[in-house]
């Protein structure tokens, strides 16, 4: 959580110029963190080129996406994982079989996070960097009634 220092190294001997650097959430690819142009530093060339930058990220996994000329977008195979904050606060909250709301408080929570209850994803109802309220899905639905032979 917070500021992350990232360094990546070129694995080929081609010379290119970095146009943009993005980190794309693997939870939701529409959540993109752009690294400001000019805030990265590249030293060396070819296979000796190292690019370093700092970026502030919320908790969650990200893929690095680099736009270079003349080669276009390059996606890195590795994932940058930002762990859940250690200052997580959850209080006793009542949620029924019909679903409800559940709130988690911490710093730098992800705007694309979700909760999973019995394998069913719950979406975000409200979000700030310090608090996320999730919609807990109903546990008794047509799908669960059929899956667990409840009906």
Does 63 or 149 have the greater pLDDT score?
A: 63
pLDDT in tens, 113-131: 888 777 778 889 999 888 9
So what's the pLDDT on residue 1?
Answer: 45
CATH of domain 2-82: 2.60.40
Indicate the DSSP class of residue 14: -
Say which range, 53-57, 134-138, 145-149, has the weakest mean pLDDT: 145-149
So what's the pLDDT on residue 133?
Answer: 92
Helix H, strand E, coil C: the string for 26-54 is: CCCCCCEEEECCCCCEEECCHHHCEEEEE
Say which range, 47-56, 79-88, 99-108, has the weakest mean pLDDT: 79-88
- 87-114: average pLDDT: 82
pLDDT in tens, 10-67: 776 667 788 889 999 998 888 999 998 878 888 887 777 888 888 888 888 899 988 8
So what's the pLDDT on residue 138?
Answer: 78
So what's the pLDDT on residue 15?
Answer: 72
Domain ranges of the chain: 2-82, 100-146
Side by side, the strands of the sheet bearing 124-128 are 100-105, 131-136, 124-128
- Residue count of the chain: 151
């Amino acid at each position: 959580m917070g500021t992350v220092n990232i360094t990546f190294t070129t694995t080929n001997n081609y010379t290119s110029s970095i146009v943009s650097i993005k980190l794309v959430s693997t939870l939701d690819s529409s959540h993109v963190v752009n690294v400001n142009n000019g805030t990265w530093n590249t030293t060396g060339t070819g296979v000796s080129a190292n690019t370093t930058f700092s970026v502030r990220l919320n908790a969650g996994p990200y893929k690095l996406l680099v736009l270079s000329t003349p080669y276009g977008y390059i996606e890195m195979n590795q994932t940058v994982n930002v762990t859940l904050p250690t200052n997580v606060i959850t209080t006793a909250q009542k949620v029924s079989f019909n679903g409800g709301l559940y709130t988690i408080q911490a710093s730098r929570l992800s705007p694309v996070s979700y909760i999973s209850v019995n394998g069913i994803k719950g979406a975000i109802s409200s979000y700030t960097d310090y608090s996320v309220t999730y919609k807990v899905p109903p546990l008794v639905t047509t799908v669960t009634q059929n899956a667990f032979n409840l009906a």
